[in-house]
Each structure stands twice: as structure tokens, then as C-alpha cells.
Chain A
Amino acid sequence: MISESSSFVKGMVLGGLFCVFVTLIGHIKMGHGTKAQHHEHHHIQAPNKEDVSNLSEGERMELSHSIRVYCIILVKPKDLGNWAAVKETWSKHCDKAEFYSSESVKVFDSVVLNTNDVWMMVRNAYKLAYERYKDEYNWFFLAHPTTFAVIENLKYFLLKKDASQPFYIGHTVKSGELEYVDDDGGIVLSIESLKRLSKIFEDPDKCPEQGGLIWKLSEDKQLAVCLKYTGVFAENAEDSEGKDVFNTKSVGSLIKEAMANHPQQVVEGCCSDMAITFNGLAPNHMHVMMYGVYRLRAYGHNFKDALVFLPPAGSDND
């Protein structure tokens, strides 16, 4: 009895020490590449009014056409309802949108990745997108089929940002030393970031296919780790009032929170007027958002916008 319990205790102590050791290793590996500032958080803002005033009609059109967004939507067969909704709604506003699926699906065309592992899906999708489209698009937006995106607001946000610089933008989260873009809110990479990412994919030590050292990291954290090695850091996108423009929750959830927390200023406090994404939407809600964003409006209010976007051909819900 006594010898059994002492083995047990020895085992517990060894196991505990092992855990501590491994955790420390994990932290060291993650910490590589960061400088001293533990509390640093990167914010990135939308353009100012001054940035965009005094442009001629021609300049507006040229500027609008210079921002070319390629959309990657990662799907699995179980997402069929949302896949259809995304196909019928916001993805029509990307310069090009493609669905990258884990496996082939009869009903819809897609780029078949032949893997169920989300990190492998992310890697392969980015690799393929870079190989095929590096000369055609300058911004790459990755989303899940539960996300609704307003691509015009994304383009406005990216106005005046040089795609040949390394941008990695979205709704960021801090996890220990690592700041990453939460993929629930959508991920934006400039062509420069995608280029660097493609290179680091070749390095199995810095950017392994199998994820973290002992524990598997979520795909969005893994992406941040890989990008960090190339000198690309996540930035949280905000409007001129400091409100997030990439949202990992649905408008409905954000409104419910606002009703509970500041009932006197629900709409004003809840969400940005130039929000880019919301997440957690069922297919029907996507159709309501499409109508509410692109069509329903209050008559008699005009906007002098710096960019011009026309409705896509062959569509009637926008």
C-alpha cells in the first residue's frame, strides 16, 4: 500500500514538473521575435475625411479600381446552407470570390483541398491563392461561411494603405505574448504579407504543418505565429471613433449586449457605421443583412464618397 502510494506521488511530482517544463518551452518558443513591450497592442484606423476629399470623378474611379480584393471562403460539406447564402449575397461584391472546401461537393464548384484539418485548409488556400493570383489582386480576405462582409467598407478601410507593405488586419485578440487576428471576424492580408507567408510555409520549424509543439494551436493563432517570424504583426481595425470594424459576433448579439450595458445609446454605441464584418449568421440572416445593408435606406440623405462602387451584374438583392 505504502509503496503504491509513494509511486503515485512520485508520478504526480514528475508529471507536474514535466508540465511546467513544457509550458516554459512553449512560452519561450512563442516569445521569440517579440521585443520588450508586453502590453503593446496594434490599432489601425480607417482613413480621415481629409485623406479623401477633393478628388475628381476620374480620380475616384481610378482609386476605386486600384483596390482589388480576392475572397477566400473556407467551407465544409456541413456548411452547405451558409455556403449557398454567402454565394448568393456578399461574396458577389468581392473582385473575385472562391470557395475552398475540405472535400468535393456535387452542388457547388469549389477549390478542393482534400483535408479536414482547418490549419491545413488555411495553409493550402493561401498557398494556392498566392500562386494563382499574386499578380491580379492586392488584398486577400479570408472568411468562414458564417461571416457577412461588406466589401465596399473593406475597400474604404484599405484606401491609402500600401499593399506592398506587410498588413495583417482584423479583429485581434491577445493570447499571452501573441496578438492574432480572430478568424471569426475575417482576416485581411496585403499581397506583401501573403508573399512572406508563402515563403515561411516552406520552413517546417517556424511554420509547421502540424501546429504547435505539444498542443495544437487554433489555425488563427498558428497563422499569427508564422507571420510573426516574417515580421508581420496583427493590427486591430477601428473606425475614427475607435469602434471595431471587424466583428466576431452578429449584429443581434452586439445589440443585445448594448441593450443590457448602455440602454440609452444602443445603436450609437453598439456597432460602427462602417462595419466590415459580422459573424455567427444563419443563412436567413444573411439575406436580411444583404437587404438592410445594400437596399434599405432612409430617403433624402446623400453622401459625397471618395470611392464609387457599382452593383454587380446578374444580381437583384443588392
Chain B
Amino acid sequence: FSFLLLYLQFFQVNHRSIEYQGWKGPQEVSSPTPCSKQDQSPTESVAIVSGDNATAAELYSKVRILCWVMTGPSNLETKARHVQATWARHCNVVLFMSSVQDDGFPTVGLDVKEGRDQLYWKTIRAFQYVHQHYLEQADWFLKADDDTFVVLDNLRWLLANHTPEEPVYFGKRFKPFVKQSYMSGGAGYVLSKEALRRFVEGFRTQVCTHTSPVEDLELGKCMEKMGVQAGDSRDTQGQETFHPFPPERHLTENLQLDYYYPTYSFYPILLGAQSCSDLSISFHYVSPEEMYLLEYLSRHLRPYGYQPRYQPALTAWNRTAALNPKDRVTPAAL
């Protein structure tokens, strides 16, 4: 009997040490079966575990965004895969635009060649493809690179103040070359449905043509010609939301002293904490590791119980369906 007790004791103790081993580090954490990213319900796309996601869920269904990611065959495994594993899950629809269709990865094979000089052709073809096949499935159409990180919920907050029938597009505004400014390609830009229609129409009628491979500049010129407005994407405190660099550069460097940046930045360059909105929408030149870091920081790690300084209201709701008053966040005194 005592041997039995000893045996049980030993078994218990052994079990606990295994438990300990299991939690020593991330290596042996048991993970649930990875779910298919393709057929996700809206709730899954928006849910932050343990949060009340009602407002985000409403925005998901009312502000539908199609994301298309500029990529290529050599970047699918090294870059596009990590986009797919992180922020792309929160788009209503996501397409990866490449020159070649790949069976192992959900890509659209466009009839173009690869290379920096082909970027504008790729963009034209991508938007034409989206216009032809997906026009009714979304209200807004986002273009991003495979090294752009996007916070979709914050993009929906920005766009909730507008309608898809407005001829407008948003992004990081660059001031040279185009009178009304144009949007940085790498920082991502988003077209309203009307803006997309006009872009496609511009090419159909030859008002817009392929004059150079500089994708973002050429698109900006076409937008201006077609009467699509370059929108102001800053938050209600005047802080920028689309960013052409990773967070570290904006937060810690004095970009006013950069050689090129002051020539390009449409709005005054703010420094330190002022350089980035709480509700930032995009960052560029983001490495694969940093994709996961930003996903973790924006959607997982948070300071429990903390009341942020900036809590803007969702002002567009007055125009659309009735909103449950308890979801409304009151603007905090600053």
C-alpha cells in the first residue's frame, strides 16, 4: 500500500515537472489546429479575445474593405505569407497580386512582368481586375505592399466618416509633382468605390495613360485628372495615420533633418510621440518579425484597465443605422 502511495506521489510530481517544462518557453506551447484563413466569419475576423467587439464588428459589416497586396513569386514565402498570417485576416476580402498565379498561395496572376519598372502596370491591372470581379463585394479598395502593415479597424474608423460614393482617396500625402498631392505607394492608399470607377474609366477613355513606372505618382496624377480628391487622413488631433516608415523611425528619429522627407511630407513633420496617431493605419518597410510584433501590440498586449488619453467618437454613425449608446466612446478631455 505504501508503495502504491509512493508511486502515486512520484507520478504526480513527474506530471508537474512535465507541466513546468511545457511552460518554460514558447517552444512547447500546445497550439490549436490552425484555422483556415479563407473562410472566416466576420466575428472571427474582428474579434479580440476577451473584448467587447461590437463596434468593430458593426464597422466590419458597414465599411467593407477589399485589400490587394502587391507581391511577386519570389516574395510569397518570405513576405506575403506573413501578411496573410497577420493583418490581411482583418480585410473583408484580400487578394495577393503577382505576375504568376501560385497554387500554394492565394494569388491573382496578372498579365505583367515583375520588376520595379512594372509597378504601375501591375497597379493598373490589379485595379482593373478588382473592378471587374469584386466591385460589389466592397465599399473601399486598399492597395498595400508586402512590407506594409495595416490596422484595418483604424482604417474603418477613418472611412466611417465618408461614403463610398464620394470621389476620394486616402493615404500618406506627398506634396511634390501633383498639385493636390499624391499618396505614397508603400504606406498604402485606399480608394472609394467611386474613385475606383473613375480610375478604371480614366484608362478606358485614355484620359489616364501609362507615362512612367512610378506607381504612386502616376496614380496620383490620374486621380487629379479624374476629379478624385486627395483626402486628409490625419486624426482629429492632427496626427498622421499612414506612415512611410516603421514606427521606430517616426518615434525616435528627427525626420525634419532627413534629406528627402521634408521635401515630400505634405503636412508638417511632427516629432516623437506626436508623429504617430493612437489610431495609426499603416507603416511601411516592416519586416516579417515586425509584422507579428505590430499585430501583437495592436491587438493583443494592452495595459489592463488603462484609460487612454485619446478616445475619439465614431462621428459618422449619425448618418447610418442606429448605434447602441453604450458602444459610443466619449471624447476624453486632453
Give the interface of A toward B (CB within 8 A).
Answer: 37-41, 43, 64, 93, 150-153, 155-156, 174, 236, 238, 242-244, 251-252, 254-259, 261-275, 284-285, 287-289, 291-311, 316-318
Contact = CB atoms under 8 A, between A and B. Distances in A.
Contact of B48 (A38, A151, A155, A298): A298
Contacts of B315: none
Contacts of A302: 51-52, 54-55, 327, 329
Contact of A305 (B34, B280, B292, B304): B304
A300 B13 contact: no
Task: Name the residue among A238, A294, A316, A318 with the largest chain B CB count within 10 angstroms.
Answer: A294
B322 interface: no
A233 to B, nearest CB: 14
A271 B301 contact: yes
A298 B50 contact: no
Interface stretch (B15-23, B99-107, B192-200): B15-23
B296 A271 contact: yes
A296 B307 contact: no
B273 A316 contact: yes
Given A273-B49, A284-B252, A301-B56, A267 B303 contact: no
Interface residues of B, dominant DSSP? helix
A273 B302 contact: yes
Contacts of B23: 43, 236, 238, 242-244
B278 A300 contact: no
A267 B299 CA distance: 10
14 contacts: A152-B304, A155-B304, A155-B305, A273-B49, A275-B301, A295-B276, A296-B247, A297-B298, A298-B299, A299-B56, A299-B153, A307-B304, A308-B307, A309-B307
B157 A301 contact: no
Nearest to B157: A299
Contact of B276 (A243, A285, A296): A296
Contact of B16 (A40, A153, A258, A267): A40
Given A41-B19, A257-B26, A292-B298, 12 more contacts: A153-B304, A251-B293, A284-B248, A284-B251, A288-B247, A291-B251, A291-B273, A293-B297, A295-B278, A298-B48, A308-B305, A309-B305
Given A293-B303, A303-B51, A243 B59 contact: no
Nearest to A266: B292
Interface of B: 13-14, 16-17, 19-20, 22-23, 25-27, 29, 31-32, 34, 46, 48-59, 85-86, 151-154, 156-157, 247-248, 251-252, 272-274, 276, 278-280, 288-289, 292-310, 314, 327, 329
A183 B295 CA distance: 28
Nearest to A37: B13
Top 10 nearest A-B pairs (CB, nearest first) are A300-B56, A292-B297, A307-B305, A300-B55, A298-B153, A152-B303, A264-B34, A39-B17, A156-B304, A317-B273
A69 to B, nearest CB: 13
Contacts, number: 219
Contacts of B25: 244, 257
A68 to B, nearest CB: 15
Max chain A Cβ within 10 angstroms of own Cβ: one of B46, B55, B303: B303
B13 A39 contact: yes
Given A251-B293, A252-B293, A288-B251, A39 B16 contact: yes
A150 B278 CA distance: 18
A272 B26 CA distance: 10
Contacts of B22: 242
A308 B153 CA distance: 24
B247 A291 contact: yes
Contacts of A256: 289
Contacts of A93: 303
B305 A305 contact: yes
A185 to B, nearest CB: 12
Contacts of A252: 289, 293
A303 B50 contact: yes
A40 B327 contact: no
Nearest to A304: B52
A255 B55 CA distance: 30
A145 to B, nearest CB: 17
Given A37-B13, A257-B27, A261-B26, A287 B251 contact: yes
Nearest to B52: A302
B248 A288 contact: yes
B17 A267 contact: no
Nearest to B295: A267
